[in-house]
Structure 1
Amino acid sequence: MRRRTVAGSGSESGRSGRGFTSGFRALAAPLIVALVGALTVGLLTLGSSVAPAVAVPTPTPSPTPSPTPSPTPKSTESTSPPMLTPAITSPAPGSFVGSGTTTVSGTGEIGREIQLLSPVTGQDPLCFAVVDAAAEWSCTAVALPSGPEVRLRVVVTGAAQLAAEQTIAVLAAPVVTGGPTGLALTNGTVRGSGYPKASVVVTLAGGKRCTATADASGAWSCTFSGNVANGSVAVSASQQTSYSNPSWSNASAPVNLDFDLDRPGAPTVSAPVGGDQVPLTGTTYSGSGEDDATVTVFADAYSVCSAIVVSGSWSCAAGGVAAGSHRVIAVQRDPAGNLGPGSSGVEVLFGAAATVPPGSAGPATPAPTAEATAPPSESAPTPQSTEPGTPAPGQESPAPQAGPTSGAAPAPVPGGWNDPTLFATAVPAPWSTSQLSWAQAALLAFGALLLLCVPARLLAGTVSRARNGRPVWQAVSIAGRNRSRVEFETAPDVPLNRWLVAGAAVTAAATLVMLSGPVTSQPAYLRLLLAVMAALIVVNAVGTLVPLWWSSRVWRERASVAFLPRYLLLVAVTALASRAFEIHPALVFGLLGSVATAPGLPGRRRGQLAAVRAGSLTALAAIGWLSLGLLPQAHGFLSAFTAEIANSVVLAAIGSAAFVLIPIGRTSGRSILAWSPPIWAALTVLAFTIMFGVLSPAGLFWPGDGSVSLWWAGAGVFAALSVGAWAWQRFVVPARH
């Protein structure tokens, strides 16, 4: 067993020794090969790092260009620093600049060019500036527009993304353009332009000032009055707006204006003379006046023609006058804008050709343009004798005919719906040049109070006491005592629609008001009728609704509106008087009813309600008068229609207020006087002052030649008779009894 074991052990060991040796040999060869390969690779790698040109001449051609471009940008970024963004340091953000030009400055990168862009377009450069060595730039005398937010924007030339901007408020000085005509000659009125709705202060070299407000377009004007000497004066202006308040703009550069405040005299009219008969077209007007003044000829409400006075004489020819008798006057305005008084009027008959004796030469009247090619001697033989309206046989037609070849009668006066009428320009604006000052209007109002209103009250009281309180218009019965009053004096009760009655009354009153001036057969006068109707509706609405509102809302008392037919008679009287005495603007009464208080209401309440009514009409007239200056000039249908309504409202409101304040009968003036004489006197003076201011162009109440008006002479006679009658009944009659 032992041997078998030992023997077995020895045989195994021998086989193991031989296996190890053979396995080592098998592994040694690969290890040696791997070691040799590693050494070879290491040597190759070491050799490539020492001599790349020799070690890798061709195997790696592509890596060579790829590392070459990448180092280049890295070197550029490292050598060029980023560009600096510019900045605006003056003016400061949100600051106010009171001039149209200023200096804009800031900082930026040294050597760079800066562009200041236009605030209007946002692109066009206003200025180019180079940043200096101190990293600063500046643009001087930069013109900027006025506005609450003017944007200042600067950019770097060639790099628009590098920019800076901010907003400021700018208000440039206004511009003084000259006198009323834009020239250096002025009658005290200075015109100019500025920022829309800005407040403008105009200053003379001596320190005198006037103020104005620019309109929506920026235009403004103001008038110096009082102690202003004639001659050349330096004028400047500054302005203020809501966004600049309390700051003002800088004063404008002084402008020398030549002040001339002397009014020219009245021109003379030498042709035509009073009683002349002239054709509708081509009539020549001539006379004398002040050199360089502009003379305008009027035939009643028609503006006929204008001419400039040369060497003391003027002459113009025109037509366009309606047929009939018209009063021809001429006024002149000097180059400074001063308007003189009118000439003495002459009555001229328009509508028939002037006749001359057979064989004599016709008047030297220039023919219209259509006849310029034919000599005057050839105008007579034209076959016009068969046309209607031509002169009788044996008479020659004058030069101003419709044309030598037309053979037609003179063309009718052109007219259409868009033509303005007398009422479109009846009332001048309260601030316009007028022949009547407010002081004169106030004096006239006090004169009316003392010579008309107070004597009228005395006379009415005297007549009432003489008739034992019975009205003057109370008729005496002529039917006989045995006749039935019901049969002969009571009209049948016919129910009428109140709106129909009101419409008929307004139409009748508007027709009467329209007849207060010349009326022709033109469509424009139908438009005028509608305008007057609208104005009367406004006036009556204010005269009734305001007292009704006051009674119901303030006093909690009922009141009613009563239509008074006798008011139509007063409308007719005032309209016909205006036409008969040629009052322009017309004296108009426009009320058609009254406001009656509830029975049993105290007398003081009636007086207060009457004061509200008279005051509302006066306020309506004042507001309408002030609004006339805001209306555009009447050129088309709508503008003419609006102007006619506004003028009619002013005339009807102030005329009605003045008439109802006369304290006779049961008028508002009687109730106010019984309640409070001081309030009645104040309202009367106020209403008559405005009325005389509105009627100032008529020239009937304050003659410019210093003579006494017939109106005031008649008022003085009326006052003397009224006071005499009152004194007789008050003192003499009781003493005799």
Structure 2
Amino acid sequence: MITSRRSSAHGSLDRSRRRVRCAPMLVVAVFLAALVAVPLAGAVSPAAALTRAEVVEPTETTEPTPQDSTTPTPSLAPLESSTPSPSPAPAAPTIDTPAPGSFVGGSVSVGGSRDPGQKIQLLSPAGGDPLCIIEADGSSTWQCPGVRLPSGPDVTLRAVVEGDSGLAATISVRVLQPPTVTGGPTGTSSSNGLVRGTGYPGATVTAVLGSGQRCSFTVDGSGAWACLMQGLISGTEQVTASQQTGFSAPDSSPASDPVTLQFDVDAPAPPTVAGPAAGSTVPPGATYFGQGENGATVTVFAGAYSLCSAAVSGGTWSCTEFESGIADGSYDLRAVQQDAAGNVSAGSAPIRVSYGTAPATPTPPAEPVPAPTTAPQPTTAPTPAPTATPVPTPAPAVPPGTPSATPAPGAPDDQAGDLPPTLTVPGGWNDPTQFSTAVIPPWTVASFPWLQAGLLTLGALLLLVVPARLLAGTVSRARNGRPLFQTHRFAGRNRAREEFEVAPTVRVNRWVGVGAAITAAAVFVLLSGPVAATPSYLRLLLAVALALAVVNAAAALVPQWWGARALHVDVALTILPRYLAVIAVTALASRLLDLHPALLFGLLGSVVVRSGPVLAQRGQLAAMRAGTLLVLGLVALLVVGVLPEPSGFIGALAAEFANTVVLVSIGSAVLVLIPLGSTSGRSILAWSPPIWAALTVPAWLALFTLLSPGLSLWQGQGPTVLVWAALVFAVLSVTAWAWQRFVLPALRQ
């Protein structure tokens, strides 16, 4: 029995030990099973893993044996720490097109990438409903075509995942939509040359006719613009418009949808007044009637008093006098009419009538003039009804401060008084012109075409400047240094003026001559772009004249100062009339080629040394002259970049002055540096070719920097023709030089 108990005790002890040894093994087995089950079950949340661990834990401690207390309790810690990490969080979508900061005009396709299970919403920058919703279709990309964004320099595009706004992509782009063309002066399809519409405030709108004529205007703060076409003939034309702003330059918006306008630039015939009769006394509130042009608006005047207005229908018109407060007395009764296009007729034949209680000269009642059937018969004492007076529909608002560009119906006697409604169109002193914003500083443009400017500079030097120098040298050698044009063939050689029977020379004051030359040059410069018959172009003429005076003063005084201080030579100033021809040719060429901004030349004279200068002196003076022009142009370009938006007379004058100085200085520097004849470029090249190159390359680069933003607007075959012409000129010049330099010497041997 004792042995039996011991055996039993030993058996129990062995079983307990086996249980103790099995408990860790069971924990390890459960841990391994969990590691295998997690990948098979997919992504399992941490809460689910913890629940499974809690279910296993009671099975480990179900036997109440003392040895269980020795079971390592941390066995659950490895199970919990080995719980798989959460699955990767969903990735945010991306916007790949358009690129951030790019320019957008018209509609655009917006797209990017996403997780296949995401539903994307493209939010509207203006708020409200999304621009589009892209369903989750298993694709890793999304696309929203035909999106039209509002105009602005920093328009935000935001794509979010539906149900999780934290997953989003955001970019900003520059947007400029096309302007709209609303019609003629009154917003209808009839126009007397005026075109109006809406656009982005501050943008410059350019309206273009199908025949190629164009006009420009800066959109006012309310979004309205209007410009007047010049030199039209009556007929039907299609009009489109595009616009450009500082944040979009050098890009412009796409062209607007074409609008067909009926242009009528012919004034209507004067209307007729059939009643009241001549010599009658007109009572208060009388009715006036007559004939006119269908669709026109007739306004009746008694002297300087405006009496009433009415539209012509069926060839007749009729209106009732409103409370005009006309004084007693006799007046000439006249009427004028304004057609639907805005043209105003001359006044009708005067009819003498009287107002007030004083009797007028009796009128023979033999043949009373009957009123038209559509007009009410005159009454002796009608009740005034001002509210019933038909008045023409007023024109939509246009930029404030702009007087009418069409002749308004005036009082027949040109006296002060009430006038009929007039159209307000651009034409004030403060209106912008083509020189107000002619120059775009390159640092104000996000993506300036520097590569284009550099390539154009290289092309100009290789195809124009160098071949021109070779051709000039070839011609000079062929003529043994003799000039191409010999003036003595026309003016005689070595003969005094007194030998000819001519009128005595009239000496003109030097300053009068300079002023006349500057005025003539300013007129030529104005012709480089469209000119309208508005007061703003008188302001532009003043700005251009001031700019020409400054440029010529700098180009003359700086070399004169350098010659006196550094070279110790006597330098004189001379006016060269032939330079006016150069100014006219460059301005008209810019107009024909539609260059915006224009290529301008503005020098009126040169500097000469009276005491026979040596080669180095001539070269230094020419280099100072060309360098002064280039530096002046670059300084003026900096001024243009810091000037505020032109507003008011002084602001517009300052902007036009600075823009003109830039164009005239750089254009003149480029042209005088071409080494032909007796130009500054020829003197510099003969003195020091490196200095000539150091001045010529920056000058041409500056010129094409100014022109590059406008070259993208060129249309038609103009650019292609110019490139081919330059190539032909270069080939012919180099061929002539090579023939004379290499072939002729070989043939003469």
Structure 1 length normalisation: TM-score? 0.52
Using the TM superposition, give the Cα deviation of residue 556 of structure 1 relative to its aligned residue in structure 2, in angstroms: 2.3
Letter in 2 for 1:323: Q
Q: Would you say 1:640 and 2:655 are equivalent positions?
A: no
Match of 2:241 in 1: 330
| Map of 1:504 onto structure 2 | 516
d(CA) in 2 for partners of 1:611, 1:480: 35
1:466 matched to 2:478? The reply is yes
2:191 — aligned with what? 279
Give, in angstroms, the shift of residue 657 of structure 1.
0.3
Secondary structure of residue in 1 paired with 2:241: strand
Aligned pair in 2 of structure 1 residues 645, 656: CA closer, same or farther (>3 Å)? same
Instruction: State the shift of 1:570 in Å.
Output: 0.4
In the alignment, the residues of structure 1 paired with residue 552 and residue 245 of structure 2 have an alpha-carbon distance, to the nearest angstrom, of 43
Matched residue type, 2:241: A
Q: In the alignment, which residue of structure 2 is the partner of 1:298?
A: 207
Letter in 2 for 1:331: S
Partner of 2:553: 541
User: Which letter does structure 1 place at the counterpart of 2:686?
Assistant: A
Decide whether aligned partners of structure 1 residues 602 and 473 sit closer, same or farther in structure 2, where only a CA change above 3 A counts: same
Q: Which residue of 411, 419, 429 corresponds with 2:441?
A: 429
SS of the residue 2:553 aligns to = helix
Q: What number of residue pairs does the alignment pair up?
A: 456
- Aligned to 1:567, the other structure's residue is in SS state helix
Deviation at 1:558, TM superposition (A): 2.2
Q: In 2, Cα distance between the equivalents of 1:625 and 1:443?
A: 22
Matched residues in 2 for 1:532 and 1:555: separation? 33
Higher mean Cα deviation, 568-577 or 593-602? 593-602
Which amino acid is the alignment partner of residue 721 of structure 1? L
Per-residue CA distance 1:630-672 (angstroms, 9 max, x = gap): 2121111111111111111111100100000000011111111
| Alignment check: 8 A CA contact 1:283 1:317 kept | no
- Return the alpha-carbon distance in structure 1 between the equivalents of residues 548 and 523 of structure 2: 11
Report the residue type matching 1:526 in the other structure: L
TM superposition shift of 1:478: 6.5
Q: Equivalent residue of 2:217, what SS?
A: strand
Report sequence identity in percent.
Answer: 46
Q: Deviations over 1:164-195 (max 9, x none)?
A: xxxxxxxxxxxxxxxxxxxxx97379xxxxxx
**1:331 aligns to what SS in structure 2?**
strand
Q: Distance in 1 between matches of 2:683 and 2:708?
A: 29
Q: Measured at CA, do residues 494 and 669 of structure 1 come closer, stay the same or move farther in structure 2, by a change above 3 Å?
A: same
CA–CA distance in structure 1, aligned partners of residues 597 and 742 of structure 2: 43
Q: Secondary structure at the match of 2:602?
A: coil
Q: Does 1:718 align with 2:729?
A: yes
Corresponding residue SS for 1:469: coil
Matches within 5 A, 1:83-94: none
Q: Are 2:139 and 1:259 equivalent residues in the alignment?
A: no
Using the TM superposition, name which of 586-595 and 513-522 deviates more: 513-522
How many Å apart are 1:599 and its aligned residue? 3.4
Match of 2:228 among 304, 321, 325: 321
Tell me how large the CA RMSD over aligned residues is: 5.2
2:513 pairs with 1:602: no
- Specify the alignment match of 1:685 in structure 2: 697
Aligned counterparts of 2:178 and 2:533: Cα–Cα separation in 1: 33
Moved more, 703-712 or 492-501: 703-712
For the 8 Å contact 1:296–1:306, the answer to whether it is kept is no
The question of whether the paired residues in 1 share the 8 Å contact of 2:547 and 2:661 is answered with yes
- Residue matched to 2:265: 352
Partner letter of residue 583 of structure 1?
L
**Any conservation in 1 of the 2:215–2:229 contact (CA below 8 Å)?**
no
Q: Within 5 Å, give how 1:307-706 maps onto structure 2.
A: 319-325=226-232, 330-331=241-242, 340-341=251-252, 352=265, 389=343, 411=423, 413-433=425-445, 436-475=448-487, 477=489, 487=499, 492-699=504-711
Aligned CA distance change for structure 1 residues 400 and 686 (closer, same or farther; 3 Å): farther
Structure 1 residue 690 displacement after superposition: 0.9
1:435–1:697 contact (8 Å) kept in structure 2 = no
| 1:499 shift after superposition | 1.3
In 2, Cα distance between equivalents of 1:731 and 1:579: 41
Q: Secondary structure at the match of 2:671?
A: helix
- Structure 1 residues 109-134: Cα deviation after superposition (integer angstroms, max 9, x where no partner): xxxxxxxxxxxxxxxxxxxxxxxxxx
For the residue of structure 1 that corresponds to 2:242, the secondary structure is strand
Match of 2:741 among 718, 730, 737: 730
Cα deviation 1:701-736 (Å, max 9, x = unaligned): x96999954322222222112112222222333344
In 1: Cα distance, 2:603 partner to 2:246 partner: 44
- CA deviation after TM superposition for structure 1 residue 682, in Å: 2.3
Q: CA deviation at 1:694?
A: 1.5
Instruction: Tell me the distance in 1 between the aligned counterparts of 2:533 and 2:505.
Output: 40
Q: 1:270 to 1:640 in 2, by over 3 A?
A: closer
Q: 1:271 to 1:673 in 2, by over 3 A?
A: farther
CA distance in 1, matches of 2:204, 2:557: 47
**Which structure's CA Rg is the greater one?**
1
In the TM superposition, residue 535 of structure 1 has moved relative to its aligned partner by: 0.5
Matched position secondary structure for 2:563: helix
Distance in 2, matches of 1:579 and 1:460, equals: 28
Q: Distance in 2 between matches of 1:424 and 1:334?
A: 13
What is the Cα deviation at residue 429 of structure 1?
2.6
> 2:170 & 2:266 partners in 1: Cα distance?
47
TM-score calculated relative to the size of structure 2: 0.51
Q: 5+ unaligned residues in a row in structure 2: which ranges?
A: 1-98, 104-155, 160-167, 209-213, 269-293, 296-308, 319-334, 346-391, 397-407, 410-418
The gaps in structure 1 that reach 5 residues or longer are 1-184, 190-229, 234-255, 309-315, 356-361, 364-373, 392-398
Q: 1:342 to 1:729 in 2, by over 3 A?
A: farther
Distance 1:381 1:402 in 2: 23
Counterpart of 1:187 in structure 2: which amino acid? G
Task: String of CA shifts for 1:524-579, please: whole Å, max 9, x gaps.
Answer: 22221111111011101111111111121122222221211111110111111122
- Cα separation, partners in 2 of 1:520 and 1:671, compared to 1, 3 Å: same
**Partners of 1:188 and 1:259 within 8 A in 2:** no
Alignment CA distance shift 1:282-1:716 (3 Å): closer
Task: Return the alpha-carbon distance in structure 1 between the equivalents of residues 456 and 435 of structure 2.
Answer: 24
Amino acid corresponding to residue 712 of structure 1 in structure 2: V
The residue aligned with 1:9 is none
> Are the structure 2 counterparts of residues 466 and 687 from structure 1 closer, same or farther at C-alpha, using a change threshold of 3 Å?
same
Structure 2 letter corresponding to 1:298: A
Q: Aligned letter for 2:730? A: A
User: Any idea what SS the aligned residue of 2:709 has?
Assistant: helix
Contact 2:560 2:607 survives alignment (8 Å): yes
What is the one-letter code of the residue matched to 1:723? V
| Equivalent residues of 1:588, 1:651 under 8 A apart | yes
Q: Compute the displacement of 1:331 (Å).
A: 3.3
CA displacement at 1:692 relative to structure 2: 1.2
* Residues 544 and 348 of structure 1: CA distance in aligned 2, closer, same or farther (over 3 Å): farther
Question: What is the SS of the residue equivalent to 1:522?
Answer: coil
CA distance in 1, matches of 2:668, 2:251: 31
Q: Distance in 2 between matches of 1:379 and 1:693?
A: 60
